[in-house]
Amino acid sequence: MKYENEALRERRNALPAHQFFVIYTELAKPTDDVRAALEPLVKEHLDWVRDLEESGILFAAGPLVSTDEPHTGAGMIIVRGPSKAEIETLAATCPFHKAGVRKFTVRGWQMNEGSLNVTLRVSSKSMLLG
């Protein structure tokens, strides 16, 4: 990458560049009934995601939805891993992907900026992200 000046290059090089991979997932075939397409495998999928979380691989995951548009069955899973090839192998083990209900694309992502607020409530043994 070409930099116009030394200050910009130094600033860019100072970014942490934490390496992650994003698994974009979407329905393999369009349908008007997303719930019916996904529901038979939701429990297995949630178990799979929980296992990723417990192993320390998962950074974040969830459906690509908003309050003003319907759920299309698409989702995003952000994981830590050594290579794109290994994450593609991992993504293929998702129950939705194994069954051919969803297809996926893996992209590398370097997290350079951002923040995450965590509140730990010791007495109630609870945590709040926000």
12-57 confidence digits (pLDDT tens):
776 666 889 999 999 999 998 999 999 999 999 999 999 999 999 9
Phi, psi of 41 (to 5 degrees): -115, 5
Residue given tokens 């989702």 in the structure block: 75
What is the Cα–Cα distance from 105 to 73, expressed in whole angstroms?
A: 14
Residue 81 has pLDDT above 60, yes or no: yes
What is the Cα–Cα distance from 28 to 6, expressed in whole angstroms?
A: 47
| DSSP classification of residue 69 | B
Structural domains in the chain?
6-129 (3.30.70.1060)
Which is higher by pLDDT, 15 or 58?
A: 58
Both structure tokens of 27 = 């329905």
Task: Name the burial class of residue 96, with classes exposed (0-12), middle (13-18) and buried (19+) by CB atoms within 10 angstroms of its CB.
Answer: buried
What is the Cα–Cα distance from 77 to 79, expressed in whole angstroms?
A: 6
Q: What is the longest distance spanned by two Cα atoms in the chain?
A: 56
83-99 confidence digits (pLDDT tens):
999 999 999 999 999 99
Q: How far apart, in Å, are the Cα atoms of 26 and each of 23, 37, 44, 45, 110?
A: 10, 11, 17, 14, 22
What pLDDT is stored for residue 2 in this prediction? 62
